[in-house]
Chain A
Amino acid sequence: MSQSPTHAQRSDLFLLDAERTTWHDETLWFVREKRDRAVYATPEFQELRQLASDIKDHTLSQLSEYLAQFEAAALANGVRVHWAADAAEHNRIVLGIVRQAGATRVVKSKSMLTEECHLNPHLLAHGVEVIDSDLGERIIQLRDEAPSHVVLPAIHLKKEDVGETFWQHLGTEKGLTDPQQLTEAARQHLREKFLAAEVAISGVNFAVAETGAVVVCTNEGNADLAIGLARVHIACMGLEKLIPRLSDLAVFTRLLTRSATGQPITTYTSHFTRPAEGKEMHVVIVDNGRSQQLGRPDFRASLKCIRCGACMNTCPVYRRSGGHSYDFTIPGPIGAILSPNIDMKQHASLPFASTLCGSCTAVCPVKIDIHTQLYKWRQVLAAEGHIPASKQYSMQLLSRVLARPSLFKAGGAVARLGLRFVPHALTHAPGYNPWAIARELPTPPRQSFRDWYAQQGPTNAPA
């Protein structure tokens, strides 16, 4: 297993504050329930999911062609297209564009990709001021934290935390907790930044191969304001964001926010096709491990993700461990199947941070078989030596015994074995019994079932 702390270790820190854990769980469950109501009110929802899944499967099956089609269409629209193999190249390209524009002030709307690439520190290190304009993103940027959710980046924070942050950084009154007033303070602060910005960076929700346009979905309208004001727009996208035709888009816009927040559609669904008169528009298409994942048949479907966050909101583990417990840009169940592709050793504990309950798979609007992939990653991680040797050894031992009933049935041995693998680690951690921190052990009965059955004799067994 990796040297870095495991998901369980990071979760234990989160769990220390039981009240906050309750609040976090209930807040996200509330979002899940809003999603449920929106889904129940849409009778064709399951058909839409199937359609979206099929469109994404199809697109991934000939991604290179769609990428080429997209590039040609975008170029014809006067958009400049850049290709980045990894995060470093992405950051170099973006900095290059900013410098060429002679700019030092950048506003950025929400983009998980630029988080993934750690663009902000790169720009800051090179003398470029970069301001996140999405409210949640701005809050965590002020706190120098990573997002803890793909749609609700500051969901780990209570309004008191936000009040504290704004008091420190924006000079609001101490102890301010009224969401309306806090939002207004952020709005005033951001407005100056919007007006001063020379370059606007945005993420991309969908890129339409047929038209070469990118589509950005936000609720705050911050992307539109920034892009409208700045002279240069840089849209950064992972190469899996493509959909073939404009007519496919409606399938996804109908699914995205219903799944994410229970809204029928995002407040702003903005299409950017070509630069406005006298302005520049760039699209940076990033691989950063995606083509490698595309080459893993068991895990390819993870690239269908449209980052709605529903699998996080529904995950009973995520709700109680917090997004930071995953220590990966994309947290939750989807993060747990994307992260081992990037670094198996470092993220080895994530596929085990699940009961495999399957709720993630059941909510996913593009029908990614998330829990099956979690199970499959476990097999890969064990085969590649990323699970503790003691665990692997005990499983080998167990296998030998379980495959040979003569060993298994020897009365006492069975009981001991039972104790060893039912709560598997009971005998593996002397002095510390993880089962017993909150649970009583089952009381061993006088007789096992097989002993009872043998005593009855098959003929005396009830007929």
Chain B
Amino acid sequence: MKVALFVPCYVDQFYPQVAVASLQLLAKLGVRADFPKQQTCCGQPMANSGCEQEARPVYRHFVETFADYDYVVGPAGSCVYHVRQHFDVIDQTPAVRHVRTATVELFDFITQVLGVTELPGAFPHKVGLHLSCHGQRGLHQANASEMTPVRDGQLRRLLAGLEGLELTELDRNDECCGFGGTFCVSEAGISARMGQDRVADHVRHGTRVLTGGDMSCLMHLEGIVRRQKLPVRVLHAAEIFNGALA
């Protein structure tokens, strides 16, 4: 099985530790992932701004970069969702179709491709899980409160399986954090307010470590946590599992 690690541009630049943790976690699970270094970006910032036309060359470059891999694994639900959902505007060559289905989010890969539904280790902290909307509603990684009162999802289960870890029960389990890509600057006021409300829900219920599967939401929330100097650590779930797994 040939696996490539897809590292979103902002993770590469600002959160290299998340990519390192993803690579190491995969290695511990017996998967050696390559990092094709010609990779750049999935094109989402452009497309979400309305510039899908301009994003097409970026989509094609993404496909060329990863066409030879069986799986393209990324620690970011939103970027993965973009590739799977919105690469429909370029010619659907066999390579494009392959890359669209082969691109999977890290925890989808671990639980569904590798079939690993429990990760050993301990993490004795009060942990708040932030669900990324694109992961939850787009990739169907977790139940949605619009449909059912049952709060369930693969990441929630994996976290709950760690020894000593206590999950925070939030008032609003799956409200959007307000990052939204370019939304975070074009609608800066609303974006900030949404993020502040999300963080407040966590603080109110005792979250000490805020985590999730999508670093873009977490970048935004971390910005708020640090501005407000709150005693909350923000970690990507890959960092937690990689650290917990000997």
Q: Is B232 an interface residue (CB 8 A)?
A: no
Please tell me if the beta carbons of A354 and B219 are within 8 angstroms of each other in the complex: no
B15 at the binding interface (Cβ < 8 Å): yes
Which residues of A (429-463) have their CB < 8 Å from a CB of B? 434-435, 437-445, 447-454, 458, 461-463
Residue A391, interface by CB 8 Å:
yes
**Does B194 contact A422, Cβ atoms closer than 8 Å?**
no
Q: Measured between alpha carbons, how far is A434 from B172 in the docked complex, in Å?
A: 26
Across the interface, A453 reaches (CB within 8 A) one of B35, B65, B196, namely: B35
List B residues 132-181 near A (Cβ within 8 Å): 133-134, 137-138, 144-149, 172, 175-176, 178-181
Q: Which of B40, B50, B137, B197 makes the CB contact (< 8 A) with A381? A: B50
Q: Which residues of A contact B144 (CB under 8 A)?
A: 359, 362
B90 CB–A CB distance under 8 Å: no
Chain B interface residue number, banded: 35 or more
A269 CB-CB contact with B under 8 Å: no
| Residue of B12, B13, B15, B20 with highest tally of chain A CB at under 10 A | B13
Q: DSSP majority for the A interface?
A: helix
User: In the complex, what's the smallest C-beta–C-beta distance from A75 to chain B, in angstroms?
Assistant: 42
Most chain A beta-carbon neighbours within 10 Å: one of B149, B180, B188 = B188
Measured CB to CB, the closest approach of chain A to B151, in angstroms, equals: 12
Q: Give bound CA distance, A40 to B17, whole Å.
A: 41
Cβ-defined partner of A448 (8 Å) among B13, B60, B65, B194: B13
Determine whether B184 belongs to the interface, using a CB cutoff of 8 Å to chain A: yes
Q: Is B119 an interface residue (CB 8 A)?
A: no
- Residue from A321, A353, A399, A401 in contact with B55 in the complex, judged by beta carbons closer than 8 Å: A399
Within 8 A of A (CB), among B13-37: 13-17, 19-20, 23-24, 27, 32, 34-35, 37
Residues on A with C-beta less than 8 A from B41 are 402
Size of the A side of the interface (Cβ < 8 Å), in residues, is: 82
Q: Which of A46, A401, A438 has the most CB of B within 10 A?
A: A438
Interface 1/0 per residue, A329-346 and B, CB below 8 Å = 000000000000000000
Say whether B224 contacts A316, CB under 8 Å.
no
Set B46, B133, B175: member contacting A358, Cβ < 8 A: B133
Q: A422-B9, A435-B185 are in contact. Are A440 and B60 (CB under 8 A)?
A: no
Please indicate the chain B residues that have their CB under 8 angstroms from the CB of A395 in the complex: 45-46, 49, 51, 54-55
| Closest partner residue, chain B, to A432 (CB atom) | B188
Q: Which residues of A contact B48 (CB under 8 A)?
A: 356, 375, 378
Asked if A387 is at the interface (CB within 8 A of a chain B CB), the reply is yes
B52 x A379 contact (CB < 8 A): yes
Highest count of chain A CB atoms <10 Å: which of B65, B189, B223: B189
Q: Are A454 and B55 in contact (CB under 8 A)?
A: no
> For the complex, is B183 an interface residue (Cβ under 8 Å from A)?
yes
**Residue A125, interface by CB 8 Å:** no
- Interface centre among B14, B47, B196, B219, by most chain A C-beta atoms within 10 angstroms, is B14
Q: Are B194 and A423 in contact (CB under 8 A)?
A: no
Closest to A386 in B: B50
B36 to chain A, nearest CB (A): 9
- B233 CB–A CB distance under 8 Å: no
Contact with A along B49-85 (1 / 0, CB 8 A): 1111111011011000100000000000000000000
Query: Can you list 27 contacts pairing A with B, beta carbon distance less than 8 Å?
Result: A21-B193, A316-B176, A317-B194, A352-B186, A355-B180, A358-B134, A359-B137, A375-B86, A378-B48, A382-B52, A382-B53, A395-B54, A398-B54, A399-B46, A399-B55, A400-B57, A403-B61, A422-B14, A434-B184, A435-B223, A438-B188, A439-B195, A440-B222, A442-B14, A442-B222, A449-B12, A463-B32
